[in-house]
């Protein structure tokens, strides 16, 4: 799994990033951005191919790292979509994470827009979700600004195309 980090995300994750050369499979590539809400820092991970957004609080949860929480959230999303454990296992065969610099600025602009929506809802208490899965479902139903795709449905369709079930 390729994690393309902004500078702030790389610092927060305490990871060194490098330039990426090659053609990654965009379905296994996630972009990471950090933004602030009232409770502190929040990570936004967005899938390169489907634009599915995943929100994870940056504060520590015992010994569970943000990377482990990301993998757990991806598993929960796939299971929530109605897929079996075998599909989860097949997707997770790509769970080895490699950290690189952001190489797609278009997705960063979409992440900036979505993070502003999330910040607004957090500040004014309108439809603010504390559970990450609820946020994925809610914000994943919003069509992407530039591509006019629905991230949640696109991710689900890509899983069906690759793994069946």
Q: How far apart are CA 25 and CA 78, in angstroms?
A: 18
Say what the pLDDT of residue 139 is. 79
Say what the pLDDT of residue 24 is. 82
Q: Estimate to the nearest angstrom the gap between the alpha carbon of 18 and the chain centroid.
A: 20
Say what the pLDDT of residue 77 is. 94
Say what the pLDDT of residue 60 is. 62
Say what the pLDDT of residue 146 is. 60
Say what the pLDDT of residue 127 is. 53
Given the candidates 3.30.230, 1.10.8, 3.40.1350, 3.30.420, the CATH classification of the domain at 2-163 is: 3.30.420
Say what the pLDDT of residue 142 is. 75
Assessment of whether the complete model's pTM goes beyond 0.85 = yes
Say what the pLDDT of residue 147 is. 64
Say what the pLDDT of residue 52 is. 92
For residue 25, the SS3 value is coil
b/e per residue 143-155 (b: at least 16 CB within 10 A): ebeeeebbbbebb
The per-residue pLDDT string of the chain (165 residues; one tens digit each, 9 = 90 and over) reads: 999 999 999 998 888 998 877 788 999 999 999 998 877 888 999 999 999 999 988 876 655 688 889 999 999 999 999 999 999 999 999 888 899 998 888 888 888 888 888 888 777 775 555 567 777 777 777 777 666 678 989 999 999 999 986
- Where helices occur in the chain by DSSP H, the ranges are 7-13, 66-80, 85-92, 105-124, 132-139, 151-163
Paired sense of beta strands 2-5 and 98-101, if any: parallel
Contact 110, 51 (CB under 8 A): yes
């Amino acid at each position: 799994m390729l994690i393309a980090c902004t500078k702030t995300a790389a610092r927060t994750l305490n990871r060194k990033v490098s330039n990426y050369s090659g053609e990654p499979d965009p379905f296994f590539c996630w972009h990471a951005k950090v933004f602030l809400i009232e409770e502190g820092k929040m990570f936004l991970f967005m899938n390169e191919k489907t634009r599915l957004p995943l929100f994870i609080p940056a504060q520590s949860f015992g010994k569970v790292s943000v990377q482990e929480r990301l993998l757990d959230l991806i598993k929960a999303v796939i299971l929530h979509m109605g897929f079996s454990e075998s599909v989860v296992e097949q997707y997770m065969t790509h769970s080895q994470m490699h950290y690189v610099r952001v190489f797609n600025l278009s997705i960063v602009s979409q992440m900036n827009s979505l993070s502003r929506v999330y910040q607004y809802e957090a500040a004014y208490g309108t439809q603010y979700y504390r559970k990450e899965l609820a946020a994925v479902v809610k914000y994943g139903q919003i069509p992407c600004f530039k591509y006019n795709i629905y991230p949640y449905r696109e991710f689900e369709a890509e899983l069906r195309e690759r793994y069946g079930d």
